Each structure stands twice: as C-alpha cells, then as structure tokens.
Amino acid sequence: MMQDPKTGALVPFDFDNIYKHLPVLQNFGYQIDFYSFDPLIDSSNMSPDFWAMLAAKITENYEQYDGFVVLQF
C-alpha cells in the first residue's frame, strides 16, 4: 500500500510504476513481472481457498521464473 498524496488514504501500490518508485531495482538488471488478484483483499480476509488459488497461480507460472515474492497487505 502507498499513501495517496492528495487524500492521505492508503491505496494499492501501482506495480506498473515500480521502477519509478524504487529506481534502485534497475541496478540489478532483472525483469520483474507481477500479478494482482482482483479484487484485492485484506490479508485478514485470506482463506484456504485463496491460498489454493495463489498456489495454483505459482504452479501455472513456475517454469517461467527464477523465483516468486508474495506480498500481502
């Protein structure tokens, strides 16, 4: 989450602009892809069904990447 500069409210991080927000990532030369579930849910609302869906998404893409980072809010 990031703070909206106009309202001060927390809003979901816009991963399309990850290099703008974290330019140091460009120093590593890695390709960073991301996937966001829709709708976004609060981590306190995660359920076994959601974890199964997350595991299925990783399994589906496992051979395409060297690693995965799971962020929850």
Partnered with residue 2 across adjacent β-strands are 11
SS3 2: strand
Q: Report how far Cα 3 is from the mean position of its chain's Cα atoms.
A: 16
Average pLDDT score over residue span 59-68:
95
pLDDT band at 23 (very low <50, low <70, confident <90, very high): very high
pLDDT band at 58 (very low <50, low <70, confident <90, very high): very high
Average pLDDT score over residue span 44-66:
93
Nearest by Cα to 49 from 60, 65, 33, 57: 57
pTM of the full predicted structure?
A: 0.72
Q: How far apart are the first and last CA of the chain?
A: 7
